[in-house]
């Protein structure tokens, strides 16, 4: 089941020029335990505009948090910055135009564990994260569309544009609702949890002729690492 909560791209808080959204069912993990990252596919949809009044998202910075409007000290990992100037993939046209940008949030192992602790701290069937976006939207004044317009540049260079950023752009935080089953199936294996298992054990009290169980466990693990399998089995007993 898809969980999609779009937010408008607003100029001066009143005029919508497009929207952004994330499908919680499409979030995935990559990189394994060495370079773990959460991939959040961000869909940008620009409203129709006349060709001579083209508008585009030209850059964005995204932060991942456990709550909306997270402060820099509360974000779950380093923010992600994207430049969308090459061919202006998120631009308007006579019809609505869509572009999906994969936001890759790189994590440390400590950050992975923090996110897992947050997930285990909820009893809900859906795990919720938030993406805060700082978006730059600009008007595009384009030239050399047909190759016949008189400009200072060779017509073979193709079309080029003046980028005119709007002063006030606002996008409310995106709420990402991820089903627990999707997280376990699509995110955790990509973060290396199919190759790494963390097990928490309560050891029994010491026996009369043995030291404490934790010490015995360490000895068994050392024997296993040194390929002394007989000793390892003996320590486990």
| Per-residue pLDDT reduced to its tens digit, 24-64 | 999 999 999 999 999 999 999 999 999 889 999 999 999 99
Q: Cα–Cα–Cα angle for 122, 125, 131, nearest 5°?
A: 70
Q: How far is CA 232 from CA 132, 192, 212, 216, 223, in A?
A: 51, 27, 16, 10, 5
The string of pLDDT tens digits covering residues 55-82 is 999 999 999 999 999 888 899 999 999 9
Please state whether 155 falls in left (phi above 0), alpha (psi between -120 and 50) or beta. alpha
pLDDT at residue 1 tops 60: no
pLDDT at 197 over 60: no
Q: Is the pLDDT reported for residue 226 higher than 60?
A: no
217 vs 101, residue with greater confidence = 101
> Pick from 45, 81, 82, 80: which is nearest to 65 by CA?
80
Evaluate if residue 173 carries a pLDDT over 70.
yes
**For residue 210, is pLDDT > 90?**
no
- Whole-number percent of the chain with pLDDT over 90: 62
Can you name the residues that pair with 83 across neighbouring β-strands? 59
**2 pLDDT above the threshold of 70:** no
pLDDT at 97: 95
Q: In this model, does residue 211 exceed pLDDT 90?
A: no
- Cα separation values, 231 from 63, 210, 213, Å: 50, 15, 15
115: its two tokens? 């996110």
For 128-155, what is the mean pLDDT?
A: 88
pLDDT of residue 200 exceeding 70: no
**Residue where the block lists tokens 């820099």:** 72
Q: Who wins on pLDDT, 65 or 123?
A: 65
Give the model's pLDDT for residue 88. Answer: 97
The chain-wide mean pLDDT, for the chain, equals: 88
């Amino acid at each position: 089941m898809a969980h999609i909560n779009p937010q408008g791209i607003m100029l001066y808080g009143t005029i919508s020029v497009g929207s952004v959204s994330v499908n919680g069912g499409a979030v995935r993990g990559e990189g394994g335990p060495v370079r773990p990252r959460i991939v959040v596919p961000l869909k940008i949809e620009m409203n129709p505009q006349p060709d001579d009044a083209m508008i585009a998202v030209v850059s964005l910075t995204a932060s991942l948090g456990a709550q909306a409007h997270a402060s820099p000290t509360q974000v779950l990992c380093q923010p992600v910055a994207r430049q969308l100037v090459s061919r202006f993939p998120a631009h308007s046209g006579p019809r609505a135009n869509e572009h999906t940008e994969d936001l890759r949030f790189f994590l440390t192992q400590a950050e992975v564990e923090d996110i897992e602790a947050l997930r285990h701290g909820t009893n809900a069937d859906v795990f919720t994260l938030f993406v805060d976006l700082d978006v730059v939207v600009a008007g595009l004044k384009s030239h050399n569309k047909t190759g016949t317009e008189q400009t200072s540049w060779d017509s073979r260079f193709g079309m080029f544009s003046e980028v005119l950023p709007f002063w006030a752009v606002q996008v409310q935080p995106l709420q990402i609702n991820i089903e627990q089953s999707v997280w376990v199936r699509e995110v955790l294996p990509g973060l290396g949890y199919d190759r790494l298992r963390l097990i928490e054990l309560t050891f029994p009290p010491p026996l009369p002729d043995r030291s404490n169980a934790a010490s015995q466990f360490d000895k068994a693990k050392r024997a296993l690492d040194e390929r002394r399998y007989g000793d390892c089995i003996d320590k486990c007993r």
